[in-house]
Amino acid sequence: MTVDEALEIVETALDYQGLNKVQELVFRQSWKGESYAEIAKSSGYNSDYIKAAGYELWKLLSKALGEKVKKDNIKPVLKRYLRQNKVNSQRNLTIEVNLSGANLSGANLNGARVVANFIETDLSQAVSPKAIMLDDNTELDEEEQKQENQADSEEQIYYWNDWQFRSHSEVKIAEALDRTNVLFFPNTKARLITGEGRQSQAANFLIFHQGKWGILKVSNPDITNDEESDRTFRSHGICIIQNYDTTRCDDEPERVVQEFLELMNQS
């Protein structure tokens, strides 16, 4: 069995939802016997990120294939799955309905799930080009499909010095802060007294400089800032709280950090 054939079986087991880019990378290289460290080195990804992606991949496949999947047992697991379920590994060939040579003009496909090999079967009069899969008479147009794919995609995680960040911009700010030798806590949470009692509040970058505390926030310009959270931190003595948009943090992190430290010096 080749790795491409294995991926086709995985796609079938996952109800024709393919792996994302990093998951497929981990699968292909693991199939070749590479370690996580080797995968990270050859791909340029952080080793911890590859390990995390691998953990999620094997968990996903364990659920789909019906038995525990690990990095070193994927081949025998897939062989058993293939034998037990008689999966036809030919891409996009349905195992529930044989459409080869069938005339589907006027056929009733209500409620049917159709996945056909277009080389063997002409579905032009039976299935809309935008809807290869039909379920309960529902067609997904291109925009709906795009939104669904975006909703299903996993949030990207960035690693730096064993810390996790939500964006490349946050990593750039962390690197810039590190070069200034200031004390800072990235993506930490604090327990504070609020109007609704004790609660946890997130602080993007909590910084101690010149005997003062401040919070530098890397903010998406399309997302409204949490002013209530800012007021809560200020009520506890953290008066310097400044938001910087992701684009600027990514393009000029050194300048952003310098501006913020100057604000703390002036307060």
Highest mean pLDDT, choosing among 80-84, 114-118, 142-146: 80-84
Whole-angstrom Cα distance, residue 249 to residue 258? 12
Coil/strand/helix, residue 147:
helix
Q: Environment class of residue 157 by beta-carbon count within 10 Å: exposed (0-12), middle (13-18) or buried (19+)?
A: middle
Kind of pairing, strands 163-165 and 158-160?
antiparallel
Q: Environment class of residue 262 by beta-carbon count within 10 Å: exposed (0-12), middle (13-18) or buried (19+)?
A: exposed
Per-residue pLDDT, 86: 57
Q: Identify the CA nearest to 230 among candidates 244, 207, 214, 247.
A: 214
Cβ–Cβ < 8 Å for 2, 79: no
Per-residue pLDDT, 135: 38
Q: Identify the CA nearest to 246 among candidates 166, 164, 155, 169.
A: 169
- What digits encode the pLDDT tens for the residues 21-61? 899 999 999 999 999 999 999 988 888 889 988 998 999 89
Strand partners, 205: 186, 216
Strand partners, 202: 189
Q: Does position 249 have pLDDT exceeding 90, yes or no?
A: yes
Highest mean pLDDT, choosing among 98-112, 157-171, 249-263: 249-263
Q: Does position 130 have pLDDT exceeding 60, yes or no?
A: no
Q: What confidence tier does 260 reach under pLDDT thresholds 50, 70, 90?
A: very high
Distance of CA 5 to the CA centre of its chain: 25
Residue appearing with tokens 């880019």: 21
Output the six-digit token pair for 230. Answer: 């800012």
* Continuous segment of H or E residues that includes residue 61: helix 47-65
Whole-angstrom Cα distance, residue 265 to residue 99? 74
Whole-model pTM over 0.85: no
Q: What confidence tier does 218 reach under pLDDT thresholds 50, 70, 90?
A: very high
Distance of CA 115 to the CA centre of its chain: 27
| Domains observed in the chain | 3-85 (no CATH), 92-138 (no CATH), 161-266 (3.40.960)
Distance of CA 254 to the CA centre of its chain: 28
- What digits encode the pLDDT tens for the residues 12-22? 888 767 788 89
